[in-house]
Structure 1
């Protein structure tokens, strides 16, 4: 009889355990400090195969906390004693309290087989402890910094806005706070929005007044929990200088979704890419061309990888100069970034300049956008083709400019009379050129007449010995010699005044005069002459300097530092090869 009773009790126990649902909500402790993380653990245990979970966990109102992170795991096993299937789901939630005191955490709800289960609400106690760094032992002089970040859950390379406030009971302390230093760390990029002080707010926390010192954007460049380091500032007084630091803030940086394009790098935001030729002149083979790759939009614009120009046997491409025009926007840094490339065509005809594929992640739509390649079509001409395409007026203008360049000196700048190319035909320019040519022809006739009269006078005088060939060549060199220091001083004045167009024109004139000193008409012959007279090192230096002058001349962005370095190289070389 006793064995039958025990058997009946086991049957009742198995019936009771079969189909049982247990739901619990617990915290790791009941009392927390002001900066502690509140960890909630939700456990759902279902015994039996006939029970089905129909909804997920319905969390209570957690608006008084900042969500730091969450995660869940599901385990399934069979109880060997009762041969019952047990499904256990555990979820962890990490919270940061926004306020102090007792905070009530409500019930967690879940529906299993058309029945709602819930947990019991409970309270957690948050102690009102705030770290303060005082300037002196007097409590009335206490001052401290606080860094506030509202949105602490962002994607990788997506910005979040941080606000730095200073708190003090004594308003006189606010004017002493200076030298705010924003955080620096390898796994995040920081860009300031405003470093100006705001008006003082007398209604701060803890009977303290507050003032905003800085507002800046934080771009975390890796996923996971990223800690924003403290911001420091100095507090100066008549007697000493102290340093105060703010609190640290943890960010929950979400990893970018899977399925990114193969050529995606780190662009997060909304962008567009444009490629264009900065010059409107005809493109000539072996002459530099400025090609601009412009990326515009809003996001992590200053820190992302720009699409590069792909190398090709049809052209030679050099490293770009990067310039940017960005300002803080609503969802990141907004503006434009320019990559200025110098491209030299290697063949005549149609040339296609292509960039790398470019893709970005749009946090608003949570999708990747693939812009692909951008292509710029150019048509390069040979030197003979450009000469043949010129009109008669253009040829006359070029001939006039050549004459003016040959008689130019550093003192009298006849290049100011050079005729610029015009897209429209102007009769005034043609008549001016004809008048100049007629005037030069009359001057030539007068000069020849003066030479004949002088020759008659010389015939009456006693003949002088002709001298050797070397002496005659020396006399010719002396007549052709130009003081190279005049050029150097004139180039220095042009550099200081910022007249870069006249600067490069004077460089060409100086090069022509130096070549005339050595009786060399073309640059190619002059390079051969330098190699034979001064060695291959000087000839190679002259070739590199000539190419550098051409690149700087046609560059749309000229800096005073680059022109100054170029002038030093010119003075160093031409002072050695000039006679």
Structure 2
């Protein structure tokens, strides 16, 4: 019986005439009343696919994001007639700035060469503490069917710490994990958490986060770690880590209107013609507090400089025997796990007749999911100024081990330098009884060759003198002119984007080639799509908010790009869009799409460059 019903429905669908959409309309949904500082959404919805969309100015409000475009299609079967309707939505996220009543001007769309406008609407902004403020964040200004909003337990961000009761200076890992029961197409961190009283560093992997499954209260969640930080408390007491705000695009089911009592819907638990919409949603993580313990003052060694963790020390001196005025190297390497970027060189007691230069510091620090580890090396250059035996005292490095709750001191040495040879008296220095060097105050008569200057041929007031005198001023003027030109170039954002357009496209095509070799079809087409869109946005100076096929076609025409090349470029975009969003995937070979995109961008770059040369 069920199979027979399905066959009848499919046959009706195939032979029925597709219903025509009604008159084109552009509706708007927005709250009538908001409070100062409140964020709210304004959504314009057209019941046809527009050729162009013109947004109002939103005077009196701060535009946070938008437009976020989404589309949906619903199909109904009534009396053997199949009716298909299209809904295109443009959503903006706004913030109210000050009290008052504001009117939002109409938005406009162009469909089949005709222009359509939405109705203007008023929004009243109240004070933040006004009791007349609406309880819900958004009430529809006009009747419009919207999908539901995610519940608090559908999507949330949970923050966890590796140690909630650390010592001051101890390494703590902070993990932000996204839990969802709904499809999330993309996400972005809207506001980073505050880390007052903490030294922090981002250790989030650059790759896409791995998605796992976790069961909470009998419910399956898809879980992804979206941010990972390592922090080091800089003071004792309670330190609060503020919440992090995350915005995301969520696919929500928006069921089409259906006839009551449908046997098909009752049996299968929903209509096959339900539509889905992508909505923007924001969540905040929980806040977490660290109870930081102070470092103990009892048995604290004098060589302790605040390092907390677990470390080892390696010290070498080479050579151990050398001549006067030759150089020796004392190399100290401290390795371990902890805040190595705050590591200072240990204090070393040197004999006074050894000249010691400031150490050359080199790092071999690794930052990964486990935190910060590695080593820091201090290379001291030592030059003896008198012969004999010089002893370098014991080198000490102290740190606090939080696992054992105690101080540890690492030692190396003492080290002895054997210095041979005699001091060069002719060099013009003498040695005091305590080994220090004293520069001579009366030099010996110079017996070398002297370059005498003929009388009357003085450098002062000669042509070369004036040239060299004016040279700094001329160089300064040249430098200032170059600097002003450079600053003007840096302020020209459009020119910067135009120059970088080719470089960014090449980079994205290289990433696409890697994905092609890995046969990662979804990521490959996404990267090709971003390469094409990003190139025209940067090269033609089209803002992202106005980046659509109609504007790109118009920009191509104004730049003199051939119609055949413009059509090939837009076909490449449509091919990528179909591969990214079509449930059936893309049947054409990936390599063919890659070669087509590469050839299109190369040809487009040549045409735009030739057009620029002709204009000059």
Settle same-fold status: TM greater than 0.5: no
* Structure with larger Rg: 1
Tell me which protein shows more strand as a share of its residues.
2
**Greater RCO (CA < 8 Å, at least 6 residues apart):** 2
TM-score, normalization: structure 2? 0.35
